[in-house]
Amino acid sequence: MRYAGHAVLAAVVLFLIGPFLVIAAAGLSAGDTLTFPPQGLSLKWITAVFGMENFRQSFVLSLWLAVGSTALALLFGVPAAYGLARYPVPGRDFMRSIVFTPVIVPGIIAGLALLRHAVIPLGLPVTTALILAHTVLVVPYAVRVVTASLEHLRTDVEEAAVILGATRTGTFFRVVLPNIRNGILAAFILGFVTSFNQVPVSLFLTGPGITTLPIDMLASMEFVYDPSIAALSALLALMSMAIVMIAEKMLGLSRYV
């Protein structure tokens, strides 16, 4: 029985980590085609990636998109989470489910719907469309993580501030915000990673010349078959893991999700 359990566990771990190891190994290949096992080891593709102009551009766009849309999502998400947590808003459960729908609805549907019924009719520029879509995608994470950290803050602490003379707004900035700071940081990191790695929605909304890094990689794979994509994938995976690990160390990220 115990051996069976260990076997299942090992299989799961292999299944989760295996693809990453394969990609990482392929990216370290010394050969000129994407193969596994790699033909010798070298860092040449890793270094080559940094010199590719198109990837550099889409990387910068992805970065701005992730930072901008997460910041916007927090601007809406933090007050929303606070309102839902503290006030007897009518239809509160319904609103919670609405806020969480972007997590449930498949990205491909959301992307198509946005394109057909918002971007095209309104004639939105590509970057605006991307920002809006990513903001919508990140809001659920912002609301959820901030809600979790609001639950750690007792409401009587806010009442104490009011009784000592603070207004409701003053209380929010003097007492609530400093105490959910870590939650907001955690939400930011999750939102950043979510936006940065986003594929299905971006797929519909990116246009010629303006594209996010994952979409750019997808496109270039169709006609380039060298290990540069594997090298870049491994680098991105490492970046995401590093961000989340640092966040876990500093904030205890897993408490919020």
Partner 1 sequence: MSDRNFLTIEKLTLAYGGTVAVKDLDLTIAEGELVALLGPSGCGKTTTMRAIAGLIQPRQGRIVLAGRDITHVRANKREVGLVFQSYALFPHLSVFENVAFGLRLRSVARDELEQRANEAIGLVGLKGFERRLPRELSGGQQQRVALARSVVVRPRLLLLDEPLSNLDARLRLEMRSELQRLQRDLGVTMIYVTHDQSEALALADRVIVMRDGRIAQQGTPADIYERPSSVFVAQFVGFENIFKAGQWPLPDERDIAALAWRPQAVVLGQGPHQGRVLGASYLGDAVEYLIETPGGLVKAQTPASARRFALDETVSLDLPLASAARLAGQ
d(CA 35, CA 57): 27
Nearer to partner 1, 106 or 252 (CB): 252
Nearer to partner 1, 80 or 175 (CB): 175
Which one among 33, 128, 167, 254 touches partner 1, defined by CB under 8 A?
Answer: 167
Which one among 85, 150, 175, 234 touches partner 1, defined by CB under 8 A?
Answer: 175
CB of 155 to partner 1, least distance (A): 9
Q: How many residues does the chain have?
A: 257
Q: Is position 91 an interface residue for partner 1 (rule: CB under 8 A)? A: no
Q: CA 47, 51, 53, 59: dihedral to nearest 10 degrees?
A: 40
Q: Is position 161 an interface residue for partner 1 (rule: CB under 8 A)? A: yes
Q: Is position 170 an interface residue for partner 1 (rule: CB under 8 A)? A: yes
CB of 255 to partner 1, least distance (A): 15
Distances (CA, A) of 104 to 35, 108, 109, 110: 35, 11, 11, 10
CB of 144 to partner 1, least distance (A): 22
Question: How many chain residues are in contact with partner 1, going by CB under 8 A?
Answer: 18
Among candidates 104, 124, 102, which has minimal Cα distance to 115? 124
Cβ contacts of 178 within 8 Å, gap of 6 or more: none
- Of 102-110, 162-170, 193-201, 224-232, which part binds partner 1 (CB under 8 A)? 162-170
Q: Is position 218 an interface residue for partner 1 (rule: CB under 8 A)? A: no
Q: Is position 156 an interface residue for partner 1 (rule: CB under 8 A)? A: yes
CB of 152 to partner 1, least distance (A): 9
Among candidates 48, 26, 51, which has minimal Cα distance to 39? 26
With b meaning 16 or more CB within 10 Å and e meaning fewer, what string describes 31-70?
eeebeeebeeeeebbbeebeebeebeebbebbeebbebbb
Q: Which residues bind partner 1 (CB under 8 A)?
A: 153-154, 156-157, 159-167, 170, 174-175, 178-179
